Chain A
Amino acid sequence: MELRARETLVPVLLVGLLVVAVGLLAFHDVEQRVPIAAGVLWLALAFAAAVGMARAFGAEKDRGTLDVLLGLPVDRGHVYFGKVAAAFLLLLVVALVTAVTYVVVSGEGVSGNLLALAALLALGSLGLAATSVMLSLLATQARARDALLPVLLLPLLIPLLLAGTHGTEDVLSNAPFAQWRGELFLLIGYDVAFLAASWMLFDAAVGE
């Protein structure tokens, strides 16, 4: 069932890539330094989430398919996870593209613990997916939905972005595990907390 929800996000992929491109272009003339790299990466990711993913439920409602999704004889939490799975994959792609493009554009060599970086990005993408999809459902039912979503999203994303950027800085400078261990655990905790909370609250958030 999750696979089906995923299929519907294919067109949104293009929007996501567009955001990435814009995000990168905006920063390309800044000095090349590790903290900047980390910042750019996560900022682009956050943008993609806020703009692209946020439409997750907005689009459904506009198209008239939201009722169909909610009318399915499954636990509504499954609908949530389906959307999160799709958003997660999308954000992973965005992260990958951003990272690669940044390296190419900035001409800097790739250094640091890449595996750890991938882990951080994955966890961050998951957290972004979890919160932006959930908030998309909330915002969709309100007026000024497109402007509202970033406002709602920002406070919730701060811990994620902090942990993500600091962790990425450490990882790219080849710092020892002990130093970025905290960020890693925080991201894990964040993901678990928000996925669980959203799943439980999802049904309550539905209904006109």
Chain B
Amino acid sequence: MRGTWIATLAIALVLVDILLSLLVAPEAANFRAPLTQRIFYYHVPSAWVAYLAFGVTALASGLLLWRRDHRWDAWALASAEVGTVFSVIALLTGLVWSRQEFIGYSPFRDAKVVSLVVVILSYFAYLTLRANLEDGDQRARISAVYGLLAFLGVPLSYLASRASLHPDFTRPDESLEAALGWFLLASTLVFTVLYAALMHARLRIARLEAALES
């Protein structure tokens, strides 16, 4: 069955990823704390998925409103739930890593941190909004509107942090060795597959719930 296939694949890939990142991945010579740097392989992909999920939620919201098709509501909700998990992971791993890596690090000055926090707050707000709306049709529509507005706020948050010309702790991309880069890419793909698997499962649950209701 397609469902289990994707789930097994995802789990397998994640396990492989964890093993490889801990054992086989090349030593990061240019980083201050090479061991903790391995967290990087979870942080970057998590952040990527967090943003991807938000994009999916926004896209589903837009489609729902534009096409007046409430079937997209399940996608918006599923992506928001899954995205929340990934974004929290991203934030935590990011903070742990940065603490080790940079001296005198202040997360509040970092544009990436700010935009990730905004994403998390937006997810939280979105889910809280949904929890307070009872009528299914209305809930779909109103949360879709909020989803779109919140999505608008993310790039603005990023730019707002950078525009202030305060020091910005971006990752030292230029010193990323080739092998590291490849591994990072691989991890990102793994996480994306994981996201897809979770979405698939969540959407299946949503379909069952809908069938139960009618």
Contact = CB atoms under 8 A, between A and B. Distances in A.
A and B touching (C-beta < 8 Å)? yes
Interface string B128-168: 11001111001001101110111011001101111111100
Given A143-B134, A182-B164, A204-B141, A155 B156 contact: no
B95 interface: no
A205 B18 CA distance: 44
A138 B129 CA distance: 9
A201 B152 contact: no
A197 B152 CA distance: 9
B9 interface: no
A70 interface: no
Interface stretch (B44-52, B114-122, B179-187): B114-122
B65 interface: yes
A207 B164 CA distance: 41
B142 A138 contact: yes
Nearest to B151: A197
Contacts of A201: 65, 145, 148-149
A190 to B, nearest CB: 6
A186 to B, nearest CB: 5
Interface residues of B, number: 35
B146 A152 contact: yes
Contacts, number: 111
A159 B145 contact: no
B133 A162 contact: no
A26 B171 CA distance: 39
A198 B149 contact: yes
Contacts of A152: 125, 128-129, 146
A193 interface: yes
A23 to B, nearest CB: 22
Interface string A58-83: 00000000000000000000000000
Contacts of B122: 155-156
B106 to A, nearest CB: 14
A158 B141 contact: no
A143 to B, nearest CB: 4
Interface in B62-104: 65
Contacts of B105: none
Contacts of B161: 162
A155 B133 contact: no
Given A183-B164, A201-B148, A204-B141, A142 B125 contact: no
B149 A162 contact: no
Interface in B17-52: none
Nearest to A196: B152
Given A151-B128, A182-B164, A207-B141, A159 B149 contact: no
B118 A138 contact: no
B139 to A, nearest CB: 9
Contacts of B138: 141, 207-208
Interface in A134-180: 134-135, 138-139, 141-145, 148, 151-152, 154-156, 158-160, 162-163, 166-167, 179
Interface of B: 65, 114, 117-118, 121-122, 124-125, 128-129, 132-135, 138, 141-142, 144-146, 148-150, 152-153, 156-157, 159-166
Interface of A: 131, 134-135, 138-139, 141-145, 148, 151-152, 154-156, 158-160, 162-163, 166-167, 179, 182-183, 185-186, 189-190, 193-194, 197-198, 201, 204-205, 207-208
Question: 7 closest A-B pairs (Cβ-Cβ)?
Answer: A182-B163, A155-B121, A159-B156, A166-B164, A159-B160, A142-B132, A162-B160
28 contacts: A131-B149, A135-B146, A138-B142, A139-B129, A142-B129, A142-B133, A143-B132, A143-B133, A144-B132, A148-B128, A151-B129, A152-B146, A154-B121, A154-B125, A155-B118, A155-B150, A156-B122, A158-B117, A163-B160, A163-B163, A166-B166, A182-B162, A190-B156, A194-B149, A197-B152, A201-B148, A201-B149, A205-B142
